[in-house]
Structure 1
């Protein structure tokens, strides 16, 4: 029998999402698992795309996405440093932006809302990954039309986020860099993250500003030039871009 909530209503059957997750990741390599899980989320919920990111010091690192649109809008939030994903990571609670075309969601994230709708996304539901005390990342669900999640769908989204957390925490971490195997993708993510922070440090030195302002300058430059924060970081680290002469 399916569990009932405090109101006596039946919640989503945990076995159903669990079975879909098991089927979705069967035969997948380690590096494919995050994107596969995003695909399962799209199958289970009324959304058109999904992505998963780990968050560290305000800079999300995208692990996988169900499609190019979801990957783009997730990277857009990382570049802007704003959006439902950032808010969910900071609060540790779900953030439901049900209408990015009008109303309070546009007022809360005006630039992100404009950019997201231009990319065909009209609603975003960001679910925190972690536990009651620590948020390690977000599962971001995207929809091409405005609308809310009903109670059952929200419970399914929470359940999916919980399964995503367990799956990500179970992914192997390689301690010997000489034995990367299928875990090479994890080291690639670490490299990307390190480049952003190395670039931030270089901007701090060039401009004599604090960390927050340096990261904000990096993001602003990325947005103004239509590229990602990681693209700008790579240019700074490679000495193709200096902020004291930009």
Structure 2
């Protein structure tokens, strides 16, 4: 069972993010991290549907999940795909067993090669329709009981609330606009990660840490900083230039 103190920590952290200067990708990254923590999963990822109805990766707690979700998007096969299209949770598949390998052979092969054994996917829902999916992955057996599934589904619903924060939900065009903004922001962040990785000669994970830490220290939105790194790097010399280029001693 999920501990009450862990659940309290999640809602406090999410509430703090929602009332602060809101950045959709940073918020969804936080939701992915907290979903993994509260469910005791190894990692979590979030995908959203684009205006054409195809899923796109937007956030993850670990870089390995990004690779898995991108592969699932490209192959149009995986638990997140089934969850999104059916609008129903996919709970307790063992990636080593025949059923999972028959349903998602490429996903199961890649996931197990990364050390993952079990997977769950829960829909991000709006008015009964899935707009995305939250995926949980674990390196060992990780069954979710009914009560725990309800709690994790509540976390997925919080992600939907964040996406649609302070917007009218009556017009479908508003929902499409919000989803498209999240997807475009994710592209900028991936580009910025690559740029910072080259500048600092470090891993993609560490480049993302540099980007996120700088945005938080500066009181700026993660997406805004990422866009500047790609298009106007001179605005943030402390992360877009090496120490030598800055003249640091």
SS at match of 1:95: coil
Q: In the TM superposition, what is the alpha-carbon distance from 1:115 to its structure 2 partner?
A: 1.5
Higher share of residues assigned helix = 2
My pick for the range that moved more, 94-103 or 78-87, is 94-103
Q: Is 71-80 or 84-93 further displaced after alignment?
A: 71-80
Backbone CA RMSD of aligned residues: 3.2
- CA-CA distance at 1:27 after TM superposition: 5.8
Distance 1:146 1:58, change over 3 A: farther
Aligned to 1:117: 112
Superposition misfits of 4+ residues, deviation over 4 angstroms: 11-16, 23-29, 183-186, 188-192
CA 1:28 to 1:118, structure 2 compared with 1: closer, same or farther past 3 Å? farther
Q: Deviations over 1:173-197 (max 9, x none)?
A: xxxxxxxxxx9865445899xxxxx
Match status 1:55 vs 2:49:
yes
Unaligned ranges ≥5, structure 1: 1-10, 173-182, 193-246
- Superimposed CA distance per residue, residues 173-222 of structure 1 (whole angstroms, 9 cap, x where no aligned partner): xxxxxxxxxx9865445899xxxxxxxxxxxxxxxxxxxxxxxxxxxxxx
The answer to whether the 8 Å contact 2:58/2:182 transfers is no
Alpha-carbon deviation of 1:135? 1.0
**Any conservation in 2 of the 1:84–1:95 contact (CA below 8 Å)?**
yes
> Quick one: distance in 1 between partners of 2:153 and 2:130?
14
2:62 to 60, 67, 70: 67
Partner of 2:151: 156
Identify the residue that residue 15 of structure 2 maps to in structure 1.
22
Q: In 1, are the aligned partners of 2:41 and 2:142 still within 8 Å (CA)?
A: no
Q: Give the one of 24, 31, 45 matched to 2:39.
A: 45
For the 8 Å contact 1:97–1:105, the answer to whether it is kept is no
Cα distance in 1 for residues equivalent to 2:54 and 2:188: 13
Please list, as runs of the form range in 1=range in 2, the aligned pairs for 1:178-217 lying within 5 A after superposition.
187-189=184-186
**TM-score, normalization: structure 1?**
0.60
Q: Kindly tell me: are residues 39 and 147 of structure 1, through their superposed partners in 2, closer, same or farther at Cα, counting changes over 3 Å?
A: closer
**What does residue 89 of structure 1 align with?**
84
What is the TM-score normalised by the length of structure 2? Answer: 0.60
Residue-pair matches, total: 173
